[in-house]
Chains A and B, each alone.
Chain A
Amino acid sequence: MADVRIKALRKRYGTFEAVKGIDLDIPDGEFTVLVGPSGCGKSTLLRTIAGLEEASDGEIAIGGEVVNDMRPRDRDVAMVFQDYALYPHMTVRRNIGFGLRARKLPAAEVENRVATAAAMLGITPLLDRYPRQISGGQRQRVAIGRAIVRSPRIFLFDEPLSNLDAQLRDEMRGEIKRLHTEIATTMIYVTHDQIEAMTLADRIVLMRDGHIEQQGAPLELFDRPATMFVAGFLGSPKMTFLPGRIVRDGEDASVALDGGPRIPLPVGRAGDSADGRRVVLGVRPEHVYRSDSGAPPSGTVRLEAVIDFLQPTGSRTYATFRVGSVPIMAELEAHDVGRHGDTMPLEINLNRASLFDAATERAI
């Protein structure tokens, strides 16, 4: 159990800078997910915490102790790798016990702890098999077993589920979440999958080009993205971005969409934006509804839209509409939809919409 403090961390490979000055505090026991597109530096950051990469600059402290010059083995962290990294020449039992034997624990205790960890993960019957004799999901369990058996201060996961098929991934995601509840140790988890990030994290650290774009609780990032990048990265299907400009009318402000209608904003939503400011209105598909008759509730706007195409998924259907020449996506009840070319009244909940400056791409 320990917290992790990272100060002004940089990692350079020759002239390329993978991590560009990161400050991050991870409290003890928290499940932190580093997420971002590939090449954003998240894996490098994780590997630097593990000690597999040397920091070029800055400081990493685990449990209040600066570990920059410590070897990986002395940092008391455990890591689960994307390719599991099970030792092919050892049985599952020896794989799980490897770290304990490397630390010269008595054989009886190694045996004990391996048995406990195996029971916890339901892999006891596999203990005498070799990694090549078990399935992908089982290998992942063994890799996790090898990590928990040591009771390290910190768990590091480097895209541990990306080699599994979708169903198994859902299952293992649940297990990892359960594991964190049970052992309540600090976990740092790297993924490029925003659903994994949303479901697992106490806190999401969203990275881009070697620095942190935004960090916070999953719903905080989801509901109040600081930038268009965050807004677009989290949520599936993606947020629809509608470019336009601010039209001021005294206290009231609205957005005149390029090639589309004018959308009145809730009071104060536009801040002190001047008339004519280029903005982007961000609308999540789940905040676009099919409109009933009657007056729209406050903060929503009603539009006549034409169905462009539909993507049914079973429980929900993603529908892409056109309002004028502007495409808007909506997530609708599967049976609540018409056909291509139909006109349908839509309501957009503007209380949940985001507004960004078009030039800086930052939230207003």
Chain B
Amino acid sequence: MAATPPVRRGRRRHVPLARILLLGFFLVFVLIPLYWMLNTSLKPSSDYLAIPPVWWPDEPTLIHYEAALFQYRGLEGLINSIIVSSAATVLSALFGTLMAYSLARYNTGGQHLSFWVLSQRFLPPIAIVLPVFLIYRNIGIYDTHIGLILAYTVFTLPVSVWMMYAYFRQMPRSLEEAAQVDGCTRWGAFWSVAVPLAMPGIVAAAVFAFIACWTEFFFALLLTSRYAFTLPTVFRSFIGFQGAQYGEAAALAIVSLGPSIILGVLAQRHLVRGLTMGAVRG
């Protein structure tokens, strides 16, 4: 933990004040939309667009939650999203770690493979959606969890690989060599030395992958229909010819925040630990 740098007495009071103001402004900026979302999810439909705005409903109601989760099948979407995003995240982290390690330590594929991996991201996703859709239809994984998990794993891999590639590259080889001389197999040295040290990078990459999967809309819309649909696609049904279901949309948005927040809290410990650990150099 870094010690607070000494501050000259005369400036002592002013710096925190400026900091508080700045942070306060930022907090308001971030929290107002969230607050409005919660507010909207709890107020009756008649209050959505009322003037003056209703800052807090007189009688908060949960009817929008009920409608969003059951009538609009939001709960199914939520469960599908959790299944698909978690599975894709785990696969992406697993294969990403192995691939990044291979690239960093064995220079697999020479100097071009690592960049080729990243170059997959240059392709606009819309360019491949039609072929993917047709292939999925033909091999029978259209509108299945597996289909979506496969697609998401492939989409998130390049970024996962690159984030961990950087991690493994800066890790001194001698650590694993020491482990091998000490009595580990090559795999053992990777597992008991390299992976624990890369954990902050792995976690960071996993968080990115999860967020990408959790919020992905386009492929979910085109590769699923009645069974494997995910949370983002549910929102589509809140806007219809007769108007928008603001309350239901807000309620589902609040629900969809849950897993992200839980993940963030869990991951934070690893991410902070990564900042303080680092490799020991002479």
Contact = CB atoms under 8 A, between A and B. Distances in A.
A213 interface: no
A294 B196 CA distance: 75
A89 B183 contact: no
Given A99-B182, A102-B182, A88 B282 contact: no
B55 to A, nearest CB: 50
Q: Which of B174, B175, B181, B282 has the most CB of A within 10 A?
A: B181
B12 interface: no
A186 B184 CA distance: 22
A73 B183 contact: yes
A77 B182 CA distance: 8
B255 interface: no
A176 B196 CA distance: 32
A318 interface: no
Contacts of A85: 172, 174-175, 177-178
Given A83-B174, A85-B172, A73 B197 contact: no
B160 to A, nearest CB: 21
Given A50-B181, A150-B182, A89 B197 contact: yes
A54 to B, nearest CB: 12
B281 A83 contact: yes
A211 B191 CA distance: 37
* Interface SS, B side: helix
B185 interface: yes
A84 B182 contact: no
A79 B282 contact: no
A181 to B, nearest CB: 24
A79 B184 CA distance: 14
Nearest to A103: B183
A349 B196 CA distance: 62
A83 B278 CA distance: 14
B180 interface: yes
Contact of B183 (A102, A156, A164): A102
A86 interface: yes
Nearest to A143: B178
Contact of B180 (A73, A83, A87, A139): A73
A83 B183 CA distance: 19
A98 interface: yes
Given A81-B174, A87-B193, A88-B277, A102 B282 contact: no
B188 interface: yes
A72 B183 CA distance: 7
Interface in B50-77: none
A88 B177 contact: no
Interface of A: 50-52, 71-73, 77-79, 81-89, 98-100, 102-103, 131-132, 136, 139, 146, 150, 156, 163-164
Interface of B: 172, 174-175, 177-186, 188, 192-193, 196-197, 277-282
11 contacts: A50-B177, A71-B186, A73-B183, A83-B281, A84-B282, A85-B174, A88-B277, A88-B280, A89-B197, A98-B182, A150-B183
